[in-house]
Amino acid sequence: MPIEVNSVSYVYAKGTPFETSALRNVSLTVENGEFVGIMGHTGCGKSTLIQLIDGLMRPTEGKILLDGEDINSKGYDRYKLRRKLGIVFQYPEYQLFETTVERDVAFGLKHLGLSKAEVTDRARWALETVGFDFGKVRGLSPMGLSGGEKRRAAIAGVLAVKPEVLIFDEPVAGLDPLGRDALMELTYDLNAAGTTIIMVSHNADALAEYAGRIIVLENGELIEDGAARQILSDVRKLREKQLGISQPTLIAEMMRERGVDIGHDVIRYNELISRVVLLVNGGVQK
Ligand SMILES: Nc1ncnc2c1ncn2[C@@H]1O[C@H](COP(=O)(O)OP(=O)(O)O)[C@@H](O)[C@H]1O
Ligand SMILES: [Mg+2]
Percent residues over pLDDT 70 in the chain: 98
**DSSP H stretches of helix in the chain:** 46-53, 78-84, 101-106, 116-129, 134-137, 147-159, 177-192, 204-210, 228-232, 235-240, 247-257, 269-280
**Which atom of ligand 1 is closest in space to residue 20's alpha carbon?**
5
Q: Give, using CA atoms, the residue closest to atom 20 of ligand 1.
A: 43
Sequence ranges of the domains in the chain: 34-58+77-232, 246-286
Q: Any idea which fold 34-58+77-232 has?
A: Rossmann fold (3.40.50)
- Convert the pLDDT of each residue in 47-74 to its tens digit: 999 999 999 999 999 999 999 999 999 9
- 39 C-alpha to ligand 1 centroid (Å): 15
- Convert the pLDDT of each residue in 79-132 to its tens digit: 889 889 999 988 878 888 899 999 999 998 988 889 999 999 999 999 998 889
- 103 C-alpha to ligand 1 centroid (Å): 32
C-beta of residue 213 within 8 angstroms of C-beta of residue 225:
yes
- 118 C-alpha to ligand 1 centroid (Å): 39
pTM above 0.85, yes or no: yes
